[in-house]
Structure 1
Amino acid sequence: LQLNAKLCCCLGAGCSSRGCQLFLMCIALQVYHAACNGELYSRPFIESFEETPMLVAVLTYMGYGILTIFGYLRDFMREWKIEKCHIAREREEQKDFVSLYQDFENFYTRNLYMRIRDSWNRPICSVPGATFDLVERSSNDYNWTFEYTGRVVKDVINLGSYNYLGFAENTGACATAAGEVTVKFGVGVASTRQEMGNLDKHEELEKLAASFLGVESAMAFGMGFATNSMNIPALAGKGCLILSDELNHASLVLGARLSGSTIRVFKHNNMQSLEKLLRDAIVHGQPRTHQPWKKILILVEGIYSMEGSIIRLPEVIALKKKYKAYLYLDEAHSIGALGPNGRGVVEYFGLDPKDVDVMMGTFTKSFGAAGGYIGGRKDLIDYLRTHSHSAIYATSMSLPVVEQIITSMKCIMGKDGTTIGRSRIQRLAENTVYFRRRLREMGFIIYGNNDSPVVPMMLYMPAKIGAFGREMLKRNIGVVVVGFPATPIIESRARFCISAAHTKEMLDRALDVISEVGDLLQLKYSRHKVLPSLDRPFDETTYEENEE
């Protein structure tokens, strides 16, 4: 407000109109943003998390309440053998067994999850590319068991796979190279890297990955989840402090817990929350003894796969340097998907890879393969080779998978002599902007960053989770729906993953179906309107946002 007043004085403003005041407030906010972040950000950083409408929140809680009441009623009817379906009850000979789940988890699985279980674990029988073939199934016992009908649903548009650059394919250079390597080396390695499982292809991959990331050295692992969960315990232990984003992936959470370190959680992408924890850690030290922490490790992700948000990396690095902490960056979803050359969130912000102490990522998404990597200084990687459980005990990465990664990475880097990789990166960026803008234009509430290919669309009510997935599949669109406990109870959503393999015709077809189903289920909750200019659909400057 003080800044606004100063601007009014400087402009000699005597205007009291609402339009003038709003204009000056916008300028004030821009100046404030520039003053705070101007030296850190070289590009606009725009993320949207529209607040849940009050009526929708109330109705969502009511929906869960009604389902819970009927759940207890059904449990009562099962206990007295009134209900005909007895699959939800334990068998008499197993009643003395130790429970696998807590009471609430049991209740939720029996009475809520089972109602919409058909929306998950759907089997496909083709390459998970821009489209896939789906094996149809049905259930005669309320989704407790499924039977195949023998019918295959052809050419379902795939909006669920993490196939960001379209390398999940069975034709082309990657598939050919992987096939040739399979003939030469076979599929399995049957040993660990430290014994007889270290092949020249593994070392070629690691050198290429280090070059791609812009770091001194890199190390590859056969499983993305284990890359986090088995390496973090080698980097931190007792007497260390881990600061973890509240929305970090389960692999990061498990790795932090296994390390034995003290864990503190900061609010998602909230730099004030992170800085407060850093200050408190330095001022107070370890609990009881108040000795200084041996190490402070910050765990963050590049793109958060459930929110579609991008880490505020320039600010995290600034805080890390200010308080002498270490930074562990998980680029599972951002490597290949962000940056003009696909080098991830570090390149996206134009930062130096050396400012990130541990660069982690996976090959399962943008590269269409499997496994993960860690990159950084050579002494760090040499240390992990001898101390990481995933490096010492895990079987080496399969050679066809290694070749898939090498070939796709060379394509992205342009080392194959073509511009295919660059064109895929550009197409993904265009598809992402177009898809997000069209959804917002239709009136849906969309979460995340404008440049994130992970696009969460809010459903909210529990009954609409299964309904949306089923209605979309009826129209040959495959989507992923997510609900509690994977999300907060009132923030159920559909999650779309955009790919460079999607053509504009595919996206338009999917958008038309989403709009149709959105009208059917009344999902257009947004109170903001986006006015489109259809002349140049990929140009962000052709859109103007207004709030009702």
Structure 2
Amino acid sequence: CFFFISFEETPMLVAVLTYVGYGVLTLFGYLRDFMRQWKIEKCQNATERAEQKDFVPLYQDFENFYNRNLYTRIRDSWNRPICSVPGAKVDMMERVSHDYNWTFTYTGRVIKDIINMGSYNYLGFAQKAGTCQEAAAEVLSQYGAGVCSTRQEMGNLDKHEELEELVARFLGVESAMAYGMGFATNSMNIPALVGKGCLILSDELNHASLVLGARLSGATIRIFKHNNMQSLEKLLKDAIVHGQPRTRRPWKKILILVEGIYSMEGSIVRLPEVIALKKKYKSYLYLDEAHSIGALGPSGRGVVEYFGLSPEDVDVMMGTFTKSFGAAGGYIGGKKELIDYLRTYSHSAVYATSLSPPVVEQVITSMKCIMGEDGTTVGKARVQQLAENTRYFRRRLKEMGFIIYGNEDSPVVPLMLYMPGSNFTTTCHVLKIGLFVFSFYLYVKCIYVLKRS
């Protein structure tokens, strides 16, 4: 594999203009708040209702200010409702606002066949027709839509066990367990693996589910710079030399948290180096493959296969079914003793409702397609096509002069716009020509870029 990560420096003029833009917005926001307070401004949508004045504020002062004066200005860039299968093309409900995006009114018109570039439907399995949908519909008629119980009670179906056996075989591990929610797979399992007296070393750009799981665990958390092996090794050395604070006792466990593909940066973890450090300092590795499973590697088996490594080198392999498989839920894979432990102590296993049977069948059918066990080469062709599309898309954007981030093989492609007005105008313009893209407010992002440069 060709491992190259691009973090192009922000041009100084662009950075300055971006900060000036936010400064102007902030200045006018405070000015408008002053005018609202004195009833000079006629539009009072941003003011608190009289009946709420005695209630505790829902937001802190600046969060409230940001929401009213910055976010609402371009709010139409988000939460656009679709009324079709979220596949390669979607139908979107048209809406308009007559009060500067405080409320929206639906016109009744549906914008048809918009190219969907705002989802993680990497391999196109989120579709309204085909083998996966037919299989899911058949299972729906046999098992129903829901289970209404946990795996430890009456919610353990033969389909769940079939899925877990398939996932373990797909990953090349001894055992696996499936969960009903990808976010909770991280946030509810990490606390079962580490606790007080343990140390978590987390990449600074890890997903919110990993961050929440680490915080809930009660373990000590230390952050290393994004994909920076020198920073990680320094923390490992310090942890071993100094031990726990005050007592200086050795840590019970040291757990490294990383992602296969980072969903906001588009970068791929330097897994060979992480594994080398993990072995050198005898720590544990937790790998979140939510965005890389199905999307990387010659046969879609994720970042481990992408680098030609052994699954045995990763202690905890986590992933989701929400991206490449067009379904819902997540999984943990690893040694049998690890999975048996999680079946008993994981909060998601003990308290959460089991995966819906049709969803399970969707994952089973799509995974077998990727593995070629359906008797076709459709799955393999989709994985190869995704890799080709990713490189072509990134190459063409660079040729057109855009600043993009991430690894050459990452299907997550962040295109930097910087200025707040550009977010809104760009999403509106591409929607007119039949493209749906997701825009993210980049104030914090710009600060991060400047720090890196």
Question: Shorter-normalised TM-score: what interval?
Answer: over 0.9
Residue number among 18, 21, 24 corresponding to 1:63 in the alignment:
21
Shift of 1:44: 2.6
Aligned partner letter, 2:160: H
Which position in structure 2 is the counterpart of 1:416? 374
Residue number among 131, 141, 157 corresponding to 1:199 in the alignment:
157
Shift of 1:473: 0.8
Which position in structure 1 is the counterpart of 2:167? 209
Q: Does 1:395 align with 2:353?
A: yes
Aligned partner letter, 1:193: R
Q: How does 1:42-191 map to 2 (within 5 A)?
A: 43-191=1-149
Number of aligned residues: 450
Output the CA distance in 2 between the equivalents of 1:484 and 1:490.
10
Q: Is the 8 A contact 2:176 2:332 kept in 1?
A: yes
Output the CA distance in 1 between the equivalents of 2:185 and 2:443.
24
Q: Which moved more, 1:295-304 or 1:476-485?
A: 476-485
Which position in structure 1 is the counterpart of 2:394? 436
**Secondary structure in 2 aligned to 1:487?**
helix
Shift of 1:80: 1.0
Q: How does 1:276-355 map to 2 (within 5 A)?
A: 276-355=234-313
Q: Is the 8 A contact 2:418 2:443 kept in 1?
A: no
Per the alignment, do residues 100 and 484 of structure 1 end up closer, same or farther by CA in structure 2, a change over 3 Å counting? farther
Which position in structure 2 is the counterpart of 1:16? none
**Secondary structure in 1 aligned to 2:67?**
helix
Residue number among 208, 221, 225 corresponding to 1:263 in the alignment:
221
**Secondary structure in 1 aligned to 2:249?**
coil
Gaps of 5+ in 2: none
Shift of 1:206: 0.2
Q: How does 1:445-524 map to 2 (within 5 A)?
A: 445-484=403-442, 487-489=445-447
Aligned partner letter, 2:203: D
Shift of 1:482: 1.0
Shift of 1:491: 5.7
Gaps of 5+ in 1: 1-42, 493-548
Aligned partner letter, 2:259: E
Which position in structure 1 is the counterpart of 2:190? 232
Identity %: 79
Aligned partner letter, 2:195: G
Residue number among 355, 376, 385 corresponding to 1:427 in the alignment:
385
Output the CA distance in 1 between the equivalents of 2:200 and 2:62.
30
Q: Is the 8 A contact 1:483 1:491 kept in 2?
A: no
Which position in structure 2 is the counterpart of 1:514? none
Which position in structure 2 is the counterpart of 1:546? none
**Secondary structure in 1 aligned to 2:45?**
coil
Q: Kindly report structure 1 stretches of 4+ aligned residues shifted beyond 6 Å.
A: none
Aligned partner letter, 2:193: L
Shift of 1:489: 4.3
The Cα offsets for residues 346-383 of structure 1, whole Å up to 9 and x where unpaired, read as 00000000000000000000000000000000000000
Aligned partner letter, 1:168: A
**Secondary structure in 1 aligned to 2:128?**
coil
Output the CA distance in 1 between the equivalents of 2:449 and 2:269.
21
Aligned partner letter, 2:226: H
TM-score, with structure 1 as normaliser: 0.81
Q: Does 1:367 align with 2:325?
A: yes
Per the alignment, do residues 491 and 67 of structure 1 end up closer, same or farther by CA in structure 2, a change over 3 Å counting? farther
**Secondary structure in 2 aligned to 1:170?**
coil
The Cα offsets for residues 2-58 of structure 1, whole Å up to 9 and x where unpaired, read as xxxxxxxxxxxxxxxxxxxxxxxxxxxxxxxxxxxxxxxxx3311111000011111
**Secondary structure in 1 aligned to 2:156?**
coil
The Cα offsets for residues 396-431 of structure 1, whole Å up to 9 and x where unpaired, read as 100000000000000000000000000000100110
The Cα offsets for residues 300-353 of structure 1, whole Å up to 9 and x where unpaired, read as 000011111000000000000000110000000000000001000000000000
Shift of 1:464: 0.8
Shift of 1:485: 5.9
Q: CA RMSD in A?
A: 1.1
Q: Does 1:251 align with 2:209?
A: yes
Shift of 1:261: 0.6
Output the CA distance in 1 between the equivalents of 2:142 and 2:79.
34
Q: Is the 8 A contact 2:370 2:380 kept in 1?
A: yes
